[in-house]
Amino acid sequence: MIGQGTTEGSIYRLAPESESGKVEYLVKDQDGGVHGKLDPPLDLGQIREFGRENGRPLDRVSILQSSLNCTHCDNDIAERFSATSSGDLLCWNCAQDRIGEEDARGVTHTTDPTKAILSTSALHHKNLCNYVINVATGCTHGCKFCYVPSTPNIKMRGDMLKSHAGVDDGQAEWGSYLLYRDDLPDRLAQKLDRKRTWEQTKDGRGVVMISSGTDCYQDRRAAQITRGCVIELVKHEKPVRILTRSPAVVRDIDVFKAANGLVTVGSSIPCLDDEKVRSIEPGAPAPSARLDALEEISNAGVPVYVSMSPTYPTQDREDLRDLLTKFKERLDPDVVFHEPINPRGGNFQMTVEAAREAGQEELADELDKLRDRDHWVEYSKKQLTAVRDIGDDLDLPIHLWPDKEFIKHAGDDAEFFRREREKMESPEDYPKLPSSA
């Protein structure tokens, strides 16, 4: 273990020292005590892994508090920074001058120039959060139904995506670009130190969600950014909701446990037919692996939840019961959020085509039928009421997410679904603040 620090965790910095012509970087605490060393050449991934593997859960190495230089121009790293795909540290000027690098999968990686750190969010209407942090722009999972490419975060940043990552169409090319926010943990720490007010609505509960616009554990680099952000939020006693499709989330169980009830971890699991899910979530890990990861986290005593979204029109009542029973038996989650698939939006045709191209003809045909509004309304009503009723049978906390457009056409059930959509309280027993955890 490095350092003795405070119970909240310590911030470490790297300081270069030369002995007999050999340079090494000492890991120092804020009082100047030495807790380890790293030999050059340094890379960002190596620095962040040192903190994870050698420190206590809430310890973190700060790049901006270290004496480090840009690997390209040798200027000091100050205020903002990024890195190459291989981890070479870049000052902000050099980071902005670089074009994207393409990996073996054809995914372009580069730096996200956004100034955004912590953003208020309308997702409190779904009882999810009051704030969001997105560790990157883009997502390699490339889910065909994903709503994110149709949001301003992508649609209004076309020029930036073109110049930085060579993206011509943010929606059509969704899954083929990823722009990282490497300096987010350091900048978040500064922002939280300065922030004097905190939004906390009844339905959002002051929670910070990581992430709503990308998958925060989709690869090692994103995971390292996420870990740093979670550490800073927990040290500032802010509740955190993690949503990911990646089993790699288990790498940070130590941080989640140290959060003592401030962190809840969830995954999107619409069904457990791995091939069917892969047809429209081509780059995402299998849902069976997501369930395994959540089970491991739950067994560690960390609060978990499930986003059972979006469920498919090929799933009947028994399919939904089987799925919910597995959640109950293996996870005992604080809540299961449920939402049927929505056929609106330009990406729905891509979803149908992807299912057909993957040989999932039944899924493609049933999705295609949802273009008819009455058919979609009937399907949505059946699934939402089935999930509600099964949840009652299993004593499983359910939170429904009925679509606003669906409610307009739900007939005699419209008032019930309207109340479900607008309710201010969730059955979820979260967050558990330090005083009550």
Token digits of residue 289: 């692996």
As a whole number of Å, the end-to-end CA separation of the chain is: 26
Read off φ and ψ for residue 22, nearest 5 degrees. Answer: -100, 125
The mean pLDDT values, 10 residues at a time, for the chain of 437 residues are: 42 84 85 88 93 89 95 95 96 93 94 96 96 98 95 94 96 97 98 96 96 97 98 97 98 97 98 98 98 98 98 98 98 97 89 98 98 97 98 98 96 96 90 59
* Three-state secondary structure of the chain: CCCCCCCCCCEEEEEEEEECCEEEEEEECCCCCEEEEECCCCCHHHHHHHHHHHCCCCCEECCCCCCCECCCCCCECECEEEECCCCCEEEHHHHHHCCCEECCCCCEEEECCCCCCCEECHHHHHCCCCEEECCEEECCCCCCCCCHHHCHHHHCCHHHHHHHHCCCCCCCCCCCEEEECCCHHHHHHHHHHHCCCCCCCCCCCCCEEECCCCCCCCCHHHHHHHHHHHHHHHHCCCCEEEECCCHHHHHHHHHHHHCCCCEEEEEECCCCCHHHHHHHCCCCCCHHHHHHHHHHHHHCCCCEEEEEEEECCCCCHHHHHHHHHHHHHHCCCCCEEEEECCCCCCCHHHHHHHHHHCCCHHHHHHHHHCCCHHHHHHHHHHHHHHHHHHHHHHCCCEEECCCHHHHHCCHHHHHHHHHHHHCCCCCCCCCCCCCCC
| Residues in CB range of 264: below 8 A, 6 or more apart | 239, 240, 241, 242, 302, 303, 304, 305, 334, 428, 430, 431
User: Is residue 363 a contact partner of residue 355, using CB atoms and an 8 Å limit?
Assistant: yes
pLDDT of residue 434: 54
Residues recorded for the chain: 437
Read off φ and ψ for residue 77, nearest 5 degrees. Answer: -80, 115
Token digits of residue 396: 């499983």
Torsion, Cα of 368, 372, 376, 382 (10° steps) = -100
Cα separation, 421 vs 415, in Å, equals 10
| Residues in CB range of 74: below 8 A, 6 or more apart | none
Token digits of residue 67: 């004496």
So where are the chain's domains? 11-106, 244-422
Residue whose pair of structure tokens reads 């291989």 in the numeric block: 86
pLDDT of residue 431: 86
Q: Does domain 244-422 have CATH number 3.80.30?
A: yes
Sign of CA dihedral 20, 50, 56, 241: positive
pLDDT of residue 2: 28
